[in-house]
Amino acid sequence: MQRLLFIVLTLALMTSPLSCSLRNEGTFRRSEFLLDTIVTITVVADSENEADNAIEKAFQEIKRLGGLVDFFSPESEISAINRNAGISPVAVSPDTYALLEKAAEVSSRTNGAFDITVGAVVSLYDFHRKTRPSGALIKERLPLVNFRDVILDRNGQTAFLRRKGMTVDAGGIAKGYAADRAVEVLKSAGIKAALVAVAGDIRAYGLKPGGKPWKVGIRDPRGKSPDDIIAVLELRDAAVSTSGDYERFFMEDGKRIHHLIDPKTGYPARGVMSVTVVGPLAVYTDSLATALFISGIEKGLDIAGTFGYDALMIDETGGTHMTDSLKDRITLRPRTKTAPKPATRNFGIKGEY
């Protein structure tokens, strides 16, 4: 009941207009449950009506994309691809194809640290019941994890899984892709500034009333509360995503068993607590946050550099590591600092400050 009350109060805050400037611009925010998470869209507009119309169009676009790539819906194109694994290619829409093509690019450039087919092993872990698979079962499933066995035909606009039993799950990249598409919809609707938060994947553009940049808080992966933050980041015309070992996990014999599974081993990656990636597009920050976590500190920072993206990585001892160009855009906070409660609970990215 307390959790339900918190959600109701949070949604009430999200749907109310925020500050106004001397130019009569207002900041308006709405939230909906889409892509199996809370999606919050904040826009700067001249009127509530203008804001509502634009936000509704953005929500409809996210809903449409969700219908295409929903892993659990038998009607989705992703499900059709999985059903036909090892059988035949499946014709897909331009959006699904573009998403899979981006996933293939990130997989190739990170040497498989991001792999859209890792669900064959991840599905063996039950974080609700706090159980993990045997080593023998992991070994049996690992041959079904290989991004190179996802065959894309650009001319025919088809996708094919080479091995029977393989699956693709777009959960590690779809939220970022959806945030990017929502931003394009808002821009086409005439919105000059906005922030789209699809769980922990955020894309922002423009400035708030008064010419101020958007600010987001990055969660302390070992904070006492989900509202404890380790850093505040200024965001302008950029995206940010965080992956952490605190999102889905259980403890076993003093060891944290979490959902960020190394596609090469089938076991949770070690050495890192959380990764935050900053760059122009959320489709990349989303997928790269996972890839960097799997790769570890040194390789992870190098990978971020090859994409021209920035990263903040927190190692297993709590030490912070970041790309040089991020240092002027981020403010680290003492780890004992507890931030005021934000208006939305995201996975790693804490609201808008």
Q: What is the pLDDT of residue 348?
A: 53
By percentage, how much of the chain surpasses pLDDT 70?
88
Strand segments, DSSP code E, in the chain are 26-34, 37-45, 90-91, 150-153, 158-161, 193-198, 201-205, 214-219, 229-235, 238-244, 249-252, 255-258, 272-279, 310-315, 320-322, 330-332, 349-350
- For 262-281, the pLDDT digits (tens) are 999 999 999 999 999 999 99
Q: Say yes or no to pLDDT of 250 above 70.
A: yes
pLDDT digits (tens, 9 = 90+) for 54-64: 999 999 999 99
Contacts of 153 (CB under 8 A, 6+ apart): 89, 159, 160
Q: Is it the case that residue 335 has pLDDT exceeding 80?
A: no
Band of the pLDDT at 224, cuts 50, 70, 90? Answer: confident
DSSP 334: -
Distance separating alpha carbons of residues 182 and 203, to the nearest angstrom:
9
Please say whether the beta carbons of 40 and 33 come within 8 A: no
339 confidence band (pLDDT: 50, 70, 90)? very low
- Check whether 353 has a pLDDT greater than 60: no
Q: What mean pLDDT do residues 215-244 have?
A: 93
Mean pLDDT of 185-191: 98
DSSP 191: -
Pairing label, strands 349-350, 193-198: unpaired
* Total residue count of the chain as it appears in this document: 353
| Coarse DSSP helix, strand, coil percentages of the chain, rounded to the nearest 5 percent | 35, 30, 40
- pLDDT of amino acid 349: 54
Structural domain boundaries of the chain?
77-171
Q: What pLDDT, on a 0 to 100 scale, did the predictor assign at position 334?
A: 78
Structure tokens at 330: 């981020």
pLDDT digits (tens, 9 = 90+) for 304-326: 999 999 999 999 999 999 999 99
- Provide the pLDDT for residue 227: 86
| Separation CA 38–CA 224 (nearest Å) | 22
Closest CA to 300 of 158, 55, 128, 114: 114
Predicted confidence at residue 93, as pLDDT, reads: 98
Strands 249-252 and 255-258: antiparallel
pLDDT average, residue stretch 153-179: 97
Assess contact for 160 and 13: CB atoms under 8 A: no
* Lowest pLDDT segment from 59-73, 215-229, 335-349: 335-349
Confidence of residue 1 (pLDDT cuts 50, 70, 90): very low
Q: Worst-scoring range by mean pLDDT, 246-250, 281-285, 296-300?
A: 246-250
CA angle 243, 249, 252 (to 5 degrees): 140
- DSSP state letters, 115-146: -TTTHHHHTT-BTTTTB---HHHHHHHGGG--
Of the pLDDT bands very low, low, confident and very high (cuts 50, 70, 90), residue 23 is: low
Residue 19 has pLDDT above 70, yes or no: no
Both tokens assigned to 34: 């889409």
What's residue 71's pLDDT?
95
> pTM value?
0.88
Q: Any residues with CB less than 8 A from the CB of 166 and at least 6 apart, and which?
A: 82, 85, 86, 117, 120, 144, 149
Rounded mean pLDDT of 18-45? 84
Q: What is the reported pLDDT for 340?
A: 35
Tokens representing residue 21 in the block = 């400037």
pLDDT tens digit string along 70-122?
999 999 999 999 999 999 999 999 999 999 999 999 999 999 999 999 999 99
**pLDDT given for residue 352 in this prediction:** 55
> 338 phi and psi, to 5 degrees?
-110, 125
Q: How far apart are the first and last CA of the chain?
A: 28
Phi, psi of 249 (to 5 degrees): -165, 170
**Is the pLDDT reported for residue 183 higher than 80?**
yes
What's domain 77-171's superfamily in CATH? Answer: ApbE-like superfamily (1.10.3980.10)
